[in-house]
Structure formats: C-alpha cells, structure tokens
Amino acid sequence: MVAGCGFQLQGAFTTPAEMERTYIAPADQHSIFYRKLRAAMKAAGVQVVDDASDATATFTILVDETDRRVLSVSARNVPTEYEVFYTIEYGLDDGTKNLLDVQRRTLTRDYTYDPKLVLGKAKEEELLREAIVDDLVRIVLKQISTL
C-alpha cells in the first residue's frame, strides 16, 4: 500500500566519484559548521584530506557567520524575543569544473527571552544554534548526493 503512493525512504548519502578525496577550505576552522560538516563527511565515507594538493575535490566555505537579532521588546524597551541565524556560502569543484555553484543558505530560529533566566536562555540559544547547524549540514549533504 505504501509503495502505491510513491513514498520512498531517503537513501544513504552518496557522493560523486570526484569527491573520493575532498579538501574542505573553511572560512573559519573553529566554526561549528566546519567541524560538523567534516565529521558528517567522514561518517559518510568521504576521505577528508588536510592538504589541497592531495584532494580530488575542494569544498569551499566562503561565508560562515552566526549571530542573533532582537525580534521584539517590552514596553520598557527590554528584549523579549530574539532570532538566532546562521549563514553559510559554499561551493564545490574538482579543480577543472564546478560540481556545485556557489550557494548561500541562511536558517533562523527564534526564542523568547527572560532577563531572570540568563543562563538558561544562553544555553537555549547555544542548542538552537547547534540545531541550525545540523540542519545546514543535512541540506548540504543532500544537495551533494544529488550531483
């Protein structure tokens, strides 16, 4: 019955043959996105190399930014809601041609803020940022697997 409606399970992450040995050129080597993308590629069977001269493909991260902005304030001009955002810009090439043109992705999440719960809200913001990065990594890997 399920097969009749066209439903299919998502397959495993597959990479083009050009990505046999991939070098990731980060905008920031210490960013959450770079670390999680590197780990996800390794877990998917991609050999991530540390030297661009050993690579058959280069995944370039041009922009890797995260911040927060105020969404709403109270009558006393105190922030009551924030939006956390994460922006990445990336491309993939094999040295001779672009496998993936430069893409820009921004994901956001919002949360309420209470000045009486500063530590808890800081942890909530950190968890939201990590969830955004997990989603971005999933989007990038899915995009690569369609090449």
Residue 36 lies in a domain: yes
Radius of gyration of the chain (CA): 19
Other Cβ atoms within 10 Å of 98 Cβ, number: 10
Residue for token digits 């439903």?
Answer: 7
Residue 7 lies in a domain: no
Number of folded domains that form the chain: 1
Tokens of 129: 């940022």
**Mean pLDDT, residues 93-103 taken together:** 93
Query: What is the model's pLDDT at position 115?
Result: 85
Statement: residue 13 has pLDDT above 60: yes
Residue 1 lies in a domain: no
Tokens of 128: 């939201």
Residue 5 lies in a domain: no
Residue 54 lies in a domain: yes
Residue 9 lies in a domain: no
DSSP code of residue 17: G
Say what the pTM is. Answer: 0.88
pLDDT band at 41; cut points 50, 70, 90: very high
* Each residue's pLDDT tens digit, 44-80: 899 999 999 999 999 999 999 999 999 999 999 999 9
How far from each other are the two terminal CA atoms of the chain, in whole angstroms? 31
Residues 81, 100: Cα–Cα separation, whole Å: 36
CB-CB contact of 104 with 67 (8 Å): no
Share of the chain above pLDDT 70, in %: 92
Residue 117 lies in a domain: yes
Residue 104: CATH number of its domain: 3.30.160.150
**Measuring CA to CA, how many Å separate 69 from each of 33, 84, 124?**
20, 7, 15
Range of the domain at 138: 15-145
DSSP 3-state of 118: helix
Residue 98 lies in a domain: yes
